[in-house]
């Protein structure tokens, strides 16, 4: 079930600026360059997943899979509402 709370207690409902997204992408690239692919992947998933991508994932492989991927779903919830996670 989707709770809107990320690992470590961070909420997914906070807006993220473009500068914040770019800073995360740069840090993730640095981790990847240093050989830490797992860390880079974990970090990049803290950025909001675009709602249209979440919709396709939900339709193709299901909500449980989408939730297990660990993406920040704040924009999905803002666009589709919290009930989308139980439908």
Classify residue 50: in a domain, yes or no.
yes
Confidence of residue 11 (pLDDT cuts 50, 70, 90): very low
Are residues 69 and 45 in contact, defined by beta-carbon separation less than 8 angstroms? yes
Rounded average pLDDT over 37-55 = 95
Residue 60 located in a structural domain: yes
CA pair distance 15, 58, nearest whole angstrom: 23
Domain count, the chain: 1
Mean pLDDT confidence for 9-35:
84
Range of the domain at 11: 7-85
Does the pLDDT at position 7 exceed 50?
A: no
* pLDDT score recorded for residue 4: 57
User: Domain for residue 54, yes or no?
Assistant: yes
What number is the average pLDDT over the span 7-27? Answer: 75
The answer as to whether 1 is a domain residue is: no
Q: Three-state DSSP class for 30?
A: helix
- The pTM score is 0.77
Identify whether 2 is part of a domain.
no
User: Taking residues 48-71, what's their average pLDDT?
Assistant: 95
């Amino acid at each position: 079930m989707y709770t809107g709370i990320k690992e470590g207690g961070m909420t997914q409902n906070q807006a993220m600026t473009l500068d914040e997204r770019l800073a995360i992408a740069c840090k993730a690239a640095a981790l990847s360059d240093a050989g830490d692919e797992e860390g880079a992947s974990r970090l990049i998933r803290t950025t909001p997943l675009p709602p249209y991508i979440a919709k396709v994932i939900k339709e193709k492989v299901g909500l449980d899979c989408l939730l297990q991927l660990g993406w920040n779903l704040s924009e999905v919830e803002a666009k589709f509402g919290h009930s989308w996670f139980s439908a």
